[in-house]
Amino acid sequence: MRIEDVPFSAVDWTQVPETEHPGESGAAFWRTLQLGPIRVRQVRYTPGYLADHWCAKGHIILVLEGELTTELQDGSSVVLRTGMGYHVGDDLTPHRSRTAGGATLFIVD
């Protein structure tokens, strides 16, 4: 991947507007920057969040706070704690997120 035509810019994530995305239960609150074809997000999941869909999009994820369980459509799952993350390519491994106690992530896709 080449990151092109994205000038240097510091980001105060507290100033990026938050949008709400309801899950099957709970909600996700996204602060999103679109940098050409690259989407960069800080996502906060409420306690009890469960995604309402299987996602096939590729991501690079870092857990900033809390604990997140990523379920894979094949029935397996991975528990990620603060400082952990994962990466996956587009259309390779459908996945969805859930969290019992809430979590905040940094996501590039």
Alpha helices in the chain (DSSP H): none
How many whole angstroms separate alpha carbon 64 and alpha carbon 79? 14
pLDDT at 39: 95
Residue 74 belongs to some domain of the structure? yes
pLDDT at 65: 98
Residue 37 belongs to some domain of the structure? yes
Residue 54: CATH number of its domain: 2.60.120.10
Residue 85 belongs to some domain of the structure? yes
- What type of residue is 34? Q
Residue 27 belongs to some domain of the structure? yes
Residue 32 belongs to some domain of the structure? yes
**What is the extent of the structural domain holding 35?**
17-108
pLDDT at 4: 85
Number of structural domains (the chain) is: 1
Cβ-Cβ contacts under 8 Å for 45 (sequence gap 6 or more): 23, 26, 27, 28, 29, 66, 68, 97, 99, 102, 103, 104, 105
Q: pLDDT digits over 27-58, tens only?
A: 999 999 999 889 999 999 999 999 999 999 99
Residue 2 belongs to some domain of the structure? no
